[in-house]
Structure 1
Amino acid sequence: MTSTHSSSSAQRTQRRIVWGLRILLAVAFGMAGAAKLAGVPQMVQVFDAIGFGQWFRYVTGLVELAGVVLLLVPATGFFGGLLLAATMVCAIATHLVLIGGNPAPAVVLALLSAFVAWRLRPVSRLATAGA
């Protein structure tokens, strides 16, 4: 009885941690996406430095907001985490190759998003049948 209780307690704690990270990521990406769409001067300058045009700022903002929505819906959280992690991998590459600056915030967001995606990954029926 004790192992079942401690196992379910650990699972609840893990679910809470993942939900906390989902909310943290949703706030961070929601603010960043909204800043891009609103045309905050710093975002306009960053996307000028990237050199693809301001349309790319709008696309990036929409991708971030779509990732937030996917992340917060329980059935699509995996896809939201995956989309946001991929977006941050591109942001890291952009910092390293095109604009310079510190890629550390993008690295942290990429790792957190990837962790959430990993924790929410679909489990195949074959894997659960063998357990």
Structure 2
Amino acid sequence: MPTLTVTGRRADHVVRALRILVALAFLMAAGTKFAAQADAVRSFDEIRFGRWFMYVIACVELAGAIGILTPRLAGPAALGLTTLLTGAVVTQLVVFDPVTSLIPLAHLVPVAIVAWARRACSSSVTTA
């Protein structure tokens, strides 16, 4: 019976593609917040944190996007983005219509896959 492994060239290509797609998604998300688009401003006003928090989240998204593209930082960045997305899911469930929580939940899946796939790479790094 075949077993599922995450080693090999094909798995590496899939994870690399996921890293690029995730980075693009978070770059776009950060861009809407940095540009203070009306929907983003309205959402952060509704959760009662205001614009300052919107810019903090945008910085975290930007840092996560850059980090996930950096091989050495991809695992920790994906873990941080997983935490961010978990908070977004909870916020959507509590403040907004629960159906809207499906959007960050859909982003959470590829980010969690990258975090899981890169865990071995981060744990195998040794310092001299």
Q: TM-score range by the shorter chain?
A: 0.7 to 0.9
Stretches of structure 2 that go unaligned for 5 or more consecutive residues are none
- The alignment status of 1:98 with 2:95, answered yes or no, reads yes
* Partner in structure 2 of residue 41 of structure 1: 38
- Spell out structure 1 runs of 4+ moving beyond 3 A: 122-125
Larger radius of gyration: 1
Q: 2:118 maps to which residue?
A: 120
RMSD: 1.7
Structure (1 or 2) with the greater helix fraction: 1
Deviation at 1:122, TM superposition (A): 3.5
1:111 corresponds to = 109
2:29 to 25, 32, 39: 32
Amino acid at match of 1:14: A
TM-score w.r.t. the length of structure 2 is 0.85
Runs (5+) with no aligned partner, structure 1: 1-6, 126-131
Q: Compare relative contact order (CA 8 Å, sep 6+) and give the higher one, 1 or 2.
A: 2
Query: In the alignment, is the contact (CA less than 8 A) between 1:86 and 1:110 conserved in 2?
Result: no
The answer to whether the Cα contact below 8 Å between 1:25 and 1:68 also exists between their aligned partners in 2 is yes
CA contact (8 A) 2:22 2:65 kept: yes
Taking the aligned partners of 1:54 and 1:72, their CA distance within structure 2 comes to: 27
Supply the distance in 2 between the matched residues of 1:68 and 1:25 (Cα, whole angstroms): 7
- 1:80, distance to aligned residue in structure 2 (A): 1.1
Q: Which residue of 1 aligns with 2:15?
A: 18
Percentage of identical aligned residues? 36
